[in-house]
Chain A
Amino acid sequence: MQQITDTWLLFMRHLKKTGREPMWLLIGLLQPILYLLLYMPLLKNMPDAMGNPQTMAQTVRLFTPGMLIIMGMGGLFAGFSFIDEIRTGIIARWLVTPAARLSIIVSLVANQLVTLLLQCILLLVVAYFFGLEVPWGGLLLTMLLVMMIGTCMSSASYAISLTVQDEGALASITNTFYLPVTLLSGILIPINSSAPQWLQTAAQFNPFYYVVEGSRALFAGNFGEDKVWQGFVVMTAFTGVMLWLALRALRKMAA
């Protein structure tokens, strides 16, 4: 019970901090809008898998899940402000209190998810004006996947931050990881049968490939597709592992 209270208290503190730095929140919210405004027009004339030209509504439906996932993957950058917090000694101060280590990690992740949710809602509103049509069930299940990605990615970022405690190292690790994972998941350009065979094979080993494909199926209302359950299974496992790694890193933190 005390663990839940602690998580809540710390979460409220992080939320207050986010609210007191509205500039960062606004910049974070600008991101989805920029993606849709600058990226969507490029896709307008892209043919579908059959080679037929697509309508704007089709394009939006194909790429909105990917945009949502990119927002989720942004959790990878959560570590930057966290390293700053480690430096002020505040994390060490909480570690000396009886508060559970898990409460500290969960409260931080929950705060990231609030920002992520706001970004996603904004993105969906803009996508709606581009003509997005999506079944409610598909949308909610996709949002669940995106929240898992946010949890997984921010946990990974906290784990790295706690270990390296250096912004430069965090930047190079996350950037090295971010680009291949994004491209090989088919977020920006779908990996279909026209892609080279080796790339298709490589994508099979990228957990995010299943999530992206799964969420596209959900947006299209094809709930029974294999990629849907595969996406959930992969993401559940990854989220669990990353949370555990973050918790372990916090326990071992060199204060």
Chain B
Amino acid sequence: MSDIILRTTRLTKTYLSGRGKAQKTVEAVKGVDLEVRQGEIFGFLGPNGAGKSTTLKMLTTLLAPTAGDATIVGHDLRKHPQKVRACIGYVSQAGGTDTFSNAYENLILQARLYGVSQTVAAAQAQDLVTRFQMTEFATRTAKSYSGGQKRRLDLALGIVHRPTIVFLDEPTTGLDPQSRAYFWEEIMRLKEDGMTIFLTTHYLEEADNLCDRVAIIDHGEIVALDTTEALKRQAGGECITVGFNHESLAEQAKVLFGGVSFIQKIIHQDFKLHLYVQDGGAMLAEVLRILDKEGIAVQTIGLSRPSLDDVFLQQTGRSLRETGKE
């Protein structure tokens, strides 16, 4: 199960933006190194504009890398894009369903573009319609589908040819919680079938619940990469978040806590301090006592187990939950 199915080395994409003297080089992806293992769900977590989609477009042959290399299912991305295409599936953010066709027509055409005969394509389309519970609406043109129904067809289109690895770009963005839960189940089922899944997301819960391993990307660079468990463990035992009503108070408190031995790590973010400790319940009282003694007014206080957001926070000084908001 530990076979490497995708490997990138210093994968880079730079754009030229603007014209004339104002022209600048924008580094969308800066030398990304990744290894994706056979059969895992690999998550690419980061805020909007971090370079997730750009990386995915390079890996799916839509965009030529500026520098670096990638090997996907044993094929060199730059030298043999056609061979790469035959073994990958891709579901873009836009989806790309043909709204003038129904689900069957969409699926059959997609399968046939992979060189499958009409009979086989029709059988595969029927399988997927049943599997993704699309029977009810599959004969209507996709124009009439709801967001969740359309997204189901998008996913089915991405896997109709049974790719070795499927790339999902923000698969659940814009879906209601119910559809999202349904999607997560379907993605888990794909994994059970032996498919490798590479998805991008800016939802912490998605990365946490779904992914075996996660790469956290910010400003085109990978800032952390490991299993979700290991990442959270690195972040520390528990997190006490103290909110103040002024930034100067937060700074004052930061200096104060700097000399406290039970606090393993302190992250200062605007009006808030994140304190990473071992025995959170007991330390919460201790933190309050210290602040009270110095006369620093506390506005809010909370205790949480570290999440992937804490990992992001520690690496970038920003919270993904806040930057990720649209």
- List residues of chain A with CB under 8 Å of any chain B CB: 2, 5-6, 9-10, 13, 16-17, 20-21, 87-99, 253-255
Which B residues touch A17, using CB under 8 A? 98, 100-101
- Chain B interface helix/strand/loop/mixed: loop
The stretch that binds A, out of B87-95, B130-138, B190-198, B251-259, is B87-95
Let me know if B109 and A13 touch, CB within 8 A: yes
- Chain A interface helix/strand/loop/mixed: helix
Let me know if A255 and B98 touch, CB within 8 A: no
- From B96, B112, B114, B157, give the contact of A88 (CB < 8 A): B96
Q: How far is the CA of A10 from the CA of B100 in the complex (A)?
A: 13
Let me know if B98 and A90 touch, CB within 8 A: yes
B82 in the interface (beta carbon within 8 A): yes
Contact with A along B15-34 (1 / 0, CB 8 A): 00000000000000000000
Which B residues touch A10, using CB under 8 A? 109, 113
Which A residues touch B317, using CB under 8 A? none
For the A-B complex, the count of residue pairs with Cβ-Cβ distances under 8 Å equals 73
What would 6 A/B residue contacts be, using CB atoms closer than 8 Å?
A: A10-B109, A17-B101, A21-B100, A89-B96, A96-B88, A97-B114
- List residues of chain B with CB under 8 Å of any chain A CB: 57, 60-63, 82, 85-86, 88-90, 92-101, 105, 109-110, 112-115, 141, 157
Which A residues touch B157, using CB under 8 A? 93
Closest to B143 in A: A20
Q: How far is the CA of A248 from the CA of B112 in the complex (A)?
A: 24
Min CB distance, B156 to chain A, in Å?
Answer: 12
Let me know if A9 and B112 touch, CB within 8 A: yes
Let me know if B62 and A95 touch, CB within 8 A: yes
Min CB distance, B120 to chain A, in Å?
Answer: 14
Which A residues touch B115, using CB under 8 A? 2, 98
Given A96-B60, A98-B86, A98-B115, decide whether A89 and B101 contact each other with a Cβ distance below 8 A: no
Q: How far is the CA of A21 from the CA of B141 in the complex (A)?
A: 12
Closest to A86 in B: B94
Min CB distance, A104 to chain B, in Å?
Answer: 10
Closest to B117 in A: A5
Closest to A19 in B: B100
Q: Which 5 A-B pairs have the closest CB atoms?
A: A89-B94, A89-B96, A93-B96, A255-B62, A97-B113
Closest to A91 in B: B96
Q: How far is the CA of A5 from the CA of B109 in the complex (A)?
A: 11
Min CB distance, A24 to chain B, in Å?
Answer: 12
Which B residues touch A99, using CB under 8 A? 113
Given A2-B115, A99-B113, decide whether A92 and B62 contact each other with a Cβ distance below 8 A: yes
Closest to B85 in A: A98
Let me know if A98 and B114 touch, CB within 8 A: yes
Let me know if B94 and A96 touch, CB within 8 A: no
A13-B109, A17-B101, A91-B96 are known; give 8 further A-B pairs, CB within 8 A.
Answer: A87-B94, A88-B94, A88-B97, A92-B96, A93-B96, A97-B114, A98-B86, A98-B115
Let me know if A6 and B97 touch, CB within 8 A: no
Given A255-B62, A255-B63, decide whether A97 and B95 contact each other with a Cβ distance below 8 A: no
Which B residues touch A88, using CB under 8 A? 94-99
Q: How far is the CA of A254 from the CA of B112 in the complex (A)?
A: 25
Which B residues touch A20, using CB under 8 A? 100, 141
Let me know if B113 and A9 touch, CB within 8 A: yes
Closest to B93 in A: A89
Q: How far is the CA of A253 from the CA of B92 in the complex (A)?
A: 15
Which of A10, A13, A93, A98 has the largest count of B CB atoms less than 10 A from its CB? Answer: A93
Let me know if A92 and B109 touch, CB within 8 A: no
Let me know if A16 and B101 touch, CB within 8 A: yes
Closest to A96 in B: B90
Q: How far is the CA of A13 from the CA of B101 in the complex (A)?
A: 8
Given A9-B113, A16-B100, A20-B100, decide whether A96 and B62 contact each other with a Cβ distance below 8 A: yes
Q: How far is the CA of A93 from the CA of B63 in the complex (A)?
A: 13
Let me know if B61 and A95 touch, CB within 8 A: yes
Q: How far is the CA of A10 from the CA of B90 in the complex (A)?
A: 19
Which B residues touch A90, using CB under 8 A? 96-98
Which A residues touch B114, using CB under 8 A? 97-98
Q: How far is the CA of A173 from the CA of B270 in the complex (A)?
A: 49
Q: How far is the CA of A5 from the CA of B100 in the complex (A)?
A: 21
Let me know if B96 and A6 touch, CB within 8 A: no
Min CB distance, B35 to chain A, in Å?
Answer: 22
Closest to A93 in B: B96
Let me know if A13 and B113 touch, CB within 8 A: no
Closest to B163 in A: A96
Q: How far is the CA of A137 from the CA of B169 in the complex (A)?
A: 55
Q: How far is the CA of A7 from the CA of B303 in the complex (A)?
A: 60
Q: How far is the CA of A84 from the CA of B190 in the complex (A)?
A: 32
Which B residues touch A16, using CB under 8 A? 100-101, 105
